[in-house]
Amino acid sequence: MTAGVCAEWDRLRTVAVHRPGIEMFFGLLEPYASLYERAFSRYKARCEHDSLQRVLREEFGVQVLRLKETILDAADRDPAVRRRLVDWAHDLVAVQGSAKEVAEARRSMEQNADALDSLHFFTLLLLNPVIDAGGRDTGNGVDVRITGQEPLANLYFMRDQQAVTVGGLVIGRPAKRQRAREPEITRFLWDILGIPVVGTVQAPGTFEGGDFMPMGEFALIGTGDRTNRDGVRQFLDCAPGFDEIGIVHQPCHPLIPGDRPDPMIDMHLDTFFNVAGSGVVLGSPLLLQRAHIEVYHRSDGGYEPSGEAMTLYDYIRSKGFSVIDLSILEQLSYAANVLCIRDGTILAVEGEEVMRMVLLNLKRKAEHDPERYGRLLQHAEEDYRRINVEGCVFPHGQEFSRHGIEVCPLHIENLTGGYGGPHCMTCVLERG
């Protein structure tokens, strides 16, 4: 299988997703430490993810590849894949105790491997447990501990572990330790599917797919909290295939004190900017006009800076795109995180319930830290009142119809609690 994407508006053919499982339970024990925005229902989130997959498959004919199921099917069919999965899981699991106790625990794990199904070992990859083998000789049994092992609670945001370009698939390197192991699992999937990898971002570089936006003859790459300059340099060395690259610097939100920024509000480019069609984008003007961009052109030796510098808003307008403006509250509520299915058709977050949840969470933050979040809350509440008076809750405003954009709204109120929408939850492998 090959992977390649030229433009965000080309017809969507194939995506990879991961339906959240037991790892989300552990993430919800402490949402903030798990990089989640808020607490939410795991059961409802899983149902919402099923709905997302169903819409992609049944309404739009997209091939949906499920990470866990594809790996497990391959492991059950191919002994070599199964052995790789088992060995990897055993290597990952930490065993504590005396040398004798550790050796006995390891021997037991290997003896029991054939009796255990492949899901057992995949779950070990998700949870990264510690086995405390101490006390085995006194009849106290084995204590399996999960605390502090950082289960992969964000794995369902399948956009970020890699980016797919005209030139092929580039493996990223997440900036946060909670997500550091994710590209190992997604790369296992690419190996099974036979998708070539054209490059891998290495330390000290960081690169996450939510910061990459293919736009036909040019592409945009966000830098900031999640993708750094070294990661961008390595990405460009992978020959992504675009004539021009715009490096977008993550803007600080003007309604939050500059000495105490909150980078999660616009952590990726796709949290404040996205594509609705070949001539239409949407985003928060408050951030687009503060996001500075450096332009690079392709040359024989790679990519060279052109010396051009402007705001993302001016740059995208200079390319002939119309901009659908998002309010402060809409941007906070994942309105920018749309998934373009084909030119002029998008999946978008149904905003009404999400806005209420985001406002409630923001109020709690402002009560705890009014100096940091008070102004942002004030403006978001003003947006909410105006939206209710006008009766045009995202994505049902007239702006989309005026630009000829068809919108398919998704009720994913719980899934968005992890800090992302349909764009974040899908790894696009093929368009065209």
Structure confidence by residue, pLDDT tens digits, 98-146: 899 899 989 999 999 999 999 999 999 999 988 888 765 555 555 555 4
Find the angle CA(174)-CA(176)-CA(178) to the nearest 5 degrees: 105
Residue 2: phi and psi, rounded to 5, are -105, 160
Say yes or no to pLDDT of 148 above 60.
Answer: no
CA distance 158 to 15: 9
From CA 49, how far away is CA 38, in angstroms rounded?
A: 17
E strands in 184-252: 197-200, 212-215, 218-223, 244-249
The reported pTM is: 0.96
**pLDDT tens, 296-333?**
999 998 999 999 999 999 999 999 999 999 999 999 99
pLDDT in tens, 161-203: 999 999 999 999 999 999 999 999 999 999 999 999 999 999 9
Say which residue, 97 or 374, is predicted with more confidence.
Answer: 374
Could you tell me how far CA 357 lies from the centroid of its own chain? 20
Distance CA 85, CA 74 (A): 10
Closest to 45 (Cα-Cα) out of 357, 374, 388: 357
CA atoms of 145 and 393, how far apart (whole Å): 45
**Cα distances (Å, whole numbers) of residue 65 to 46, 206, 283, 426:** 16, 26, 29, 10
DSSP run (H or E) holding 307: strand 302-311
CA distances from 155 to 128, 158, 407 (A): 13, 6, 26
**Per the structure block, which two tokens stand in for 212?**
């990459």
The Cα–Cα gap between 390 and 407 comes to 19
Task: Domains for the chain: give ranges and CATH numbers.
Answer: 12-70+151-431 (3.75.10.10), 79-145 (no CATH)
Lowest mean pLDDT among 146-160, 337-351, 376-390: 146-160
d(CA 410, CA 289): 29
What pLDDT is stored for residue 353 in this prediction? 97
What average pLDDT does this structure show over 270-293?
A: 98
Burial of 67 (0-12, 13-18, 19+ CB in 10 A): buried
